[in-house]
Structure formats: C-alpha cells, structure tokens
Structure 1
Amino acid sequence: MPIAVSPILDWPPRPGATLRHIFSMMLPQGMIWVGIAAVAWNFFTPSMERMATLSPRWVLEIYVRNVVMFSLVAGALHVVLYVRRVQQQRYKYERQWLSTTNREFLWNSQTRDNVFWCLVSGCSVWTAYEALTLWFYANGWIPQVEWSSGWLYLSVLTVFTSLWSVTHFYFIHRVLHMRWVYDHVHYLHHRNVNPGPWSGLSMHPVEHMMYLSM
C-alpha cells in the first residue's frame, strides 16, 4: 500500500505541504516530546553549579534519568500492544508477534535484544552527548538563552529542530545504506523486520553515534 513520506525534501519544493507536515509533527506529538523535555530539564537535571565540573556522579544521574524516561515510553507501548495485546492484530502490518526463538537476536529474543541495544548502547551515547553539551553550557562555552527573554528565538528553534531532524536523518540514512556501513553497522537495526516499540533505537553503537549526533 502507498505510504506518504515527508514533503520537506521534495523537489521542486511544496511549501504548503511542508507547512502542513510541520504542524502535524508539532501537534500533538512534538508538543508531547517538548513537555517531556521540560519536565526532565526542570525536575530531573543536576544544577548548573554541579555540572560545571565534569563528574561521573551527575553523568550517571542523567543516564539513569534517560533510561527511566525511555523505558516508560517504550515499555508502556510494549505492555499495551505486545503483552496485553489490546489492539490484537488491528493496524499491525506483520501478522507475527515478536520473535522469541531467533538466533539472530541476543538470547534468541527480539525484545530482550532490542532492550539491550536501546538501554546499554543507545542511552549511553545519548547521555554522553547530553552530558558534554550540559558541561559546555554550565561553563558558558555555549550561549545560554532563557524562555523569559528569548521565547521567540527558542520557539523558532523548536520548529527548526523538527525540520533539521528530517534532513539529518535523510543524509545519515543514505550513509548507513552504503554497502560496507550496512554490512558492518546498519545490519543490526535491520534484523528487526517485524519491529516493536523497542526496535526504533535498537542499533549498533556506531549508528547511535551517527543518529544521535543531531
């Protein structure tokens, strides 16, 4: 069946379709991610004073926070759709359920394999990038902009980030499908021909470093 793709990179450009796509990205899904980010920043991020000095303790705190956030989102979807199977087969493209006997996956289990790569590799790379950015931020090596004074700039940046994420993903994905990179890195992600909630970030560490570098 035909599946619509993002019009952002279409040529010739389609401004109307692009604007509609941006609004569909931001409302409501994008605002949910913004809300989660706001909660994480305001309640579960170490103080700037602590982060001015690079320390394993506060980096570990951020890693645990990221693991919990990721597990709550992916884990909730997994329980609803694959444990309780609330929707049964409705809206499911692949009729089979997640594999529990496939030797391509760690421990022969697709779910356990995906959870491992998401939390051990994915959250580690995510935390490393975030901790480095926050360390720079706390030391004034990158500018600090508050919503109270820079709300317009930050609002535009929020929308631009959605646009940039599509462009970034496109070019990273083109590189990942080069023969050598695919055979040694991207293959791990593509074992999930029947994806579940944990499959999206189930990747090789090198792919995590590329994909999360946005």
Structure 2
Amino acid sequence: MALNPLFQWPPKPAAVLRWYSAYWLAISSTTFTIALAFVGYAVFLPPLTAMAEWAPGWMITVWLLNLIPHVATAGLLHLWLYRWRGQGTAYKFDPRDQTRDNGTFTFRNQVHDNMFWTIASGITQWTIAQWIVFWAMANGYAPAFAFPDNPLWFLAMFPVLVIWSSFHFYWVHRALHWPPLYKLAHSLHHRNVNVGPWSGISMHPVEHLLFYTNFLIHFVLPTHPMHLLFHGYMQSIHPVFSHSGFEQLYVADKERAKMGDFFHQLHHRYFECNYGTVEMPWDRWFGSFHDGSAQATQETRARKKQMYTGR
C-alpha cells in the first residue's frame, strides 16, 4: 500500500497525477458518485426555493434520491459477487461466503442484518441530515451559491469535500474504537469481519449520528446543492464498494472498475488500525497504519491489548 505521492518528498508531479487520475479520471466510486450527483441535481432535485418550507414533495424526492441509488448499487453488486458469483473468487480478499444462521447478526443472517441497519438507520439519518442542510441553504442559514457565481470554487469543492470527509471519518472512527463507544455502537459494524456490499453503512444509529455530522461543513463553507448530493453519495455509496470484499469488479473477463481496498480490509481483520481512508495518510501520520506485514499485526495487537486492558 503506497503512500499518496502528494505527501512524499521530494515532489513527484507525475506520480501525483497518476494517483489522482485513478480517482477522478477513471471509472471509480468517486466518478460514479459525481455522476449520480449530476443526474440527481439536473433531473430530479427541486430548486432551493421549493425547500424553504418543510413539505412532503421535496423531502420524499431527496429520500428517494438516496434510497434508490444505494439499494440498486449494493443490491446489484451483492447479486453479481455473491449470489450469481459472476467473477468467482477472482480478486476476493476473503474466500469465505457471507454468514448465515449465526446469532451474532440480526435475523441470524449477515446480509439481512446489513440491509436492515443500512436502510432503517443509515439512509434515514443521511436523508434527515440533508433535509436540514437543504432547508438551511434555502433560508440563508447555510451559505450556498450558484455555479455561474464561482465556477472555480464549484470545481474545487469536490476534492475539498473528499479531504474533509476523510479527516472527519478518521477521528470519528478512531473515537468509535474507544471501548465504551465500541461496545455501545461500533461493534455492530464490526460484526462484519468478512465484509460485503451491504456492510458499508450497516451501523448502529449512534454511529450513524456521529458519521453524518460530516454534513456540518456545509454550514461553514459555501456549497452548491450538487455538492450536498455528492457528499452524501461519497459518504454512503462509496462504502458499498470499499466493503465489497473484492479489489476489482471483473465482468466479461475484463477489469471494469476498482472497488475495495486491502487497507480497509485489514481494519476489519485487525480492528485497531487503518481508521481512515486510503486517499489520505492520516493513519501514517497518527501512528495507526497497518501495511499487511507480520510486524504491523504484532503492533496492532499490542495497541488493542493496551486499549482494552490498560497494559
């Protein structure tokens, strides 16, 4: 797992360009979420003026703009990878199947457990958070702007939101591994040692509440309604891919897209490491990085023991 070349010295401009091209100029979860946001905004989202009052019409539209893409993405990936076994175990991190008849999971079924918590709590809280921000934008409580006002800022906000989300996720995620919070909330997500597409935002409601405080950035920085849609999709649909359990999507004997990453797979394997995202080096900077080596495993286990026993 190479360090993002943006943070290497001496500078390597070509390596930086290749790194970010993999996220922004190729088929990836990032470009997929931008496409979803563009279509959602251009075709379905009502104008901000319609969101100045709490009304079922626009509120249901926002909910459906979240529910349908998420269910379709997670559902189709699950069918392809696990039900139809469209690429067998090619590029799969863990050869085991999703768990069934196990009392650890709600309904004794890993997939049903993940679907329930994703839809009942995750998509619900994601939508409520966006309702609040859209209403605030429409009423002048959150700074908003139109694309013609500042096209450069409009474009810059996409990578800014990626960096902010990564930073916020690292610290919230690390806090969730504090034993009392872990026991209360985060342990539900970590039922998934062998993750699948529905595992991405399968979380306890308390964790979702902390997770979606990420949207508070829209009360600080001027953003566009399309940014808010992108932010939601990045926060919630990107984990569908990163938790797919597969490194690549392989269709018709050809690699079609990058999906999961070994970095986060190691987090679900060893818990007290790799709290952040692969795009930013928070774990390297703050001493929680696991590179897959035996030495890193020993250090992670020692850190876990100290965290839970104080020794």
Q: Does the TM-score normalized on the shorter chain lie above 0.5?
A: yes
Deviations 1:27-81 (A, max 9, x none): 3322221110111122222333331101344323321231111011111111111
Residue 92 (structure 1) shift: 1.3
Instruction: Provide the TM-score with structure 2 as the length reference.
Output: 0.62
Counting only pairs closer than 5 Å after superposition, residues 182-201 of structure 1 correspond to structure 2 as 182-201=182-201
Task: Report the Cα distance in structure 1 between the residues aligned to 2:155 and 2:116, rounded to whole angstroms.
Answer: 35
Match for residue 32 of structure 1?
32
Task: Report the Cα distance in structure 2 between the residues aligned to 1:119 and 1:7, rounded to whole angstroms.
Answer: 37
> Structure 1 residues 193, 203: CA separation in 2 closer, same or farther (over 3 Å shift)?
same
- The aligned amino acid for 2:22 is S
Instruction: Provide the TM-score with structure 1 as the length reference.
Output: 0.88
Deviations 1:114-164 (A, max 9, x none): 111111100011001111011011122223322233110011111111111
Match for residue 81 of structure 2?
81
Percent of aligned positions that are identical = 35
Task: Report the Cα distance in structure 2 between the residues aligned to 1:18 and 1:170, rounded to whole angstroms.
Answer: 22
Residue 191 (structure 1) shift: 0.3
Q: Which sections of structure 2, spanning at least 5 residues, go unmatched?
A: 215-311
Match for residue 118 of structure 2?
118
Deviations 1:5-28 (A, max 9, x none): 6577x6x87864666544433233
**May I ask how many residue pairs the two structures share in their alignment?**
210
> Structure 1 residues 18, 184: CA separation in 2 closer, same or farther (over 3 Å shift)?
farther
More displaced, 119-128 or 39-48? 39-48
Please say if 1:142 is aligned against 2:142: yes
> Structure 1 residues 21, 181: CA separation in 2 closer, same or farther (over 3 Å shift)?
farther
- The aligned amino acid for 1:66 is N
Match for residue 165 of structure 2?
165
> Structure 1 residues 193, 4: CA separation in 2 closer, same or farther (over 3 Å shift)?
farther
Match for residue 95 of structure 2?
95
Residue 204 (structure 1) shift: 0.7
Task: Report the Cα distance in structure 2 between the residues aligned to 1:116 and 1:22, rounded to whole angstroms.
Answer: 35
> Structure 1 residues 143, 13: CA separation in 2 closer, same or farther (over 3 Å shift)?
farther
Residue 88 (structure 1) shift: 0.8
Paired residue secondary structure (2:208) = helix
> Structure 1 residues 207, 4: CA separation in 2 closer, same or farther (over 3 Å shift)?
farther
Q: Which sections of structure 1, spanning at least 5 residues, go unmatched?
A: none
> Structure 1 residues 178, 7: CA separation in 2 closer, same or farther (over 3 Å shift)?
farther
